[in-house]
Structure 1
Amino acid sequence: MTPSTDSLDAIEAIVIGASAGGIEALNHILPALPANFRPAVLVVVHVRSEPPSLLPALFSARCQLPVVEPDDKDEIAGGTIYVAPPGYHMLVEPDCTIALSVDPPVRFSRPSVDVLFESAALCFADTLLGIVLSGANDDGARGLVAISRAGGRCWVQDPDTAVANAMPLGAIARGGVHDILTLDVMTARLARLAAGTRREPG
């Protein structure tokens, strides 16, 4: 692991993956994002495949940013939280729009964290931040490697603070992770991505 000392000023999009225990982690992070938050946020949580998902309403009630369940071909807008709908992979197309797919599950999951991360890395490259939170399998580990290779930044939740530590541990073991952070440190760093603010190196 290489600790991050780079500025996050260039980040245009953030992709977040979570599974068991991840909703609690997201309820810690997402409501802390300020109303003038600049990047788009795309979230995959392993949920039951039957719609409707209760997550957009759950997060909307607490968040300052708009929270949406996207439709296929939606344009990605900064300052918006996109939550993958149940039963669909959520991808980022080369033109940086959202695509929804019913391709087979990946790592037993649809939506898949890896699918989102890998497709977003192709679009956003070094302007992407990937985050893996609490979860019970290793979905997201391969995707973080893709983000790192594209020049993006990669964070994982400190496994000692995760309800289920398999996803953070899997990502760390696979390589490509720049920072292992508690949720409080994550939220403090992310808050600096509001419009007109700058993160001091280190």
Structure 2
Amino acid sequence: MSLSADPRVDFKLLVVGASAGGVSALQTLLAALPDDLPLPVLVVLHLPRDRPSRIVDLLDMRCPLPVREADDKQPLLPGTVTFAPPDYHLLVEDAATLALSVDAPVLYSRPAIDPLFESAAEVFGAGVLAILLTGASNDGSAGVAAVRQAGGHAWIQCPDDAFSPIMPAAALAHAGADAVLPLSSICTRIKGLAR
């Protein structure tokens, strides 16, 4: 599998983080995923912890891939979009398995983006593509740093293009990025992840 922007890259996992404005951004991003995407896609969207989420039902209608909420110890499924459930951190446990955690909130959020990105980097190293979208906190900054330090790639939504620029701007200031793009350009590039 190659990436149109860099055919030397062989990604094994796509991780995505979003917060304020993230529902709309994810609707656009997930609709752009190729229907033959060979990668697992893991998503953290900051959600209220005290009620069930309907995000899977909402986004499953727009995404060409199956969309599901994570279960603890479930297999890492290629060609499937898996969301962190409310009040649990989503982690990559090993190259074949996901885990859910009730560790303390990170920057007031559970699920949080940093634990997902950091665990993905630890397991998959240079095989990780992390995409950080709109949001109103610093969550994601440490995760982007971990991905890049492990040799993975990070694409960050251009703060000027984001509904809330705080999260992408904070990550750029803290960790930099391999690409800073408007959402439309992220969607164009992501089509290069097809088989």
Q: TM-score, normalised by structure 2?
A: 0.94
1:12 touches 1:78 (CA, 8 Å); kept in 2?
no
Q: Is the 8 A contact 1:8 1:193 kept in 2?
A: no
Question: Once the 2 structures are TM-superposed, how far is the Cα of residue 9 of structure 1 from its aligned partner?
Answer: 4.6
* Corresponding residue number in structure 1 for 2:107: 107
Deviates most, 46-55 or 74-83: 46-55
State the one-letter code of the partner of 1:14. L
Cross-structure match for 1:200: none
Residue 31 of structure 2 aligns to a residue whose secondary structure is: helix
State the percentage of identical aligned residues: 46
Q: Structure 1 CA distance, aligned partners of 2:38 and 2:188?
A: 15
Give the SS at the match of 1:25.
helix
2:45 aligned with 1:49: no
Paired residue for 2:66?
A: 66
Matched, 1:129 2:129: yes
What residue is the counterpart of 2:16 in the other structure? 16
Gaps of 5+ in 2: none
- 2:173 maps to which residue? 173
Residues 61-86 of structure 1, C-alpha deviations (whole Å, 9 max, x = no match): 11110001011001111110001000
Matched residue, 2:150: 150
Cα shift readout 1:110-165 (whole Å, capped 9, x = no counterpart):
00100000001011111100111000011000100000010000111010011100
Q: Which amino acid aligns with 2:192?
A: R
Matches of 2:120 and 2:19, distance apart in 1 = 19
Alignment: residue pair count: 192
Q: Retained in 2: the 8 A contact 1:9–1:193?
A: no
Of 48-57 and 118-127, deviating more is 48-57
The Cα shift of 1:39 comes to: 1.2
| Gap runs ≥5 in structure 1 | 196-202
Distance in 2 (alpha carbons) for counterparts of 1:165 and 1:8: 31
State the AA in 1 paired with 2:89: H
1:85-130 CA-to-partner distances (Å, cap 9, x unmatched) read 0000000013441100111101110001000000010111111001
- What is the DSSP-based 3-state SS (H/G/I as helix, E as strand, rest coil) of the residue aligned with 1:93? strand
- Write the letter of the residue equivalent to 1:187: C
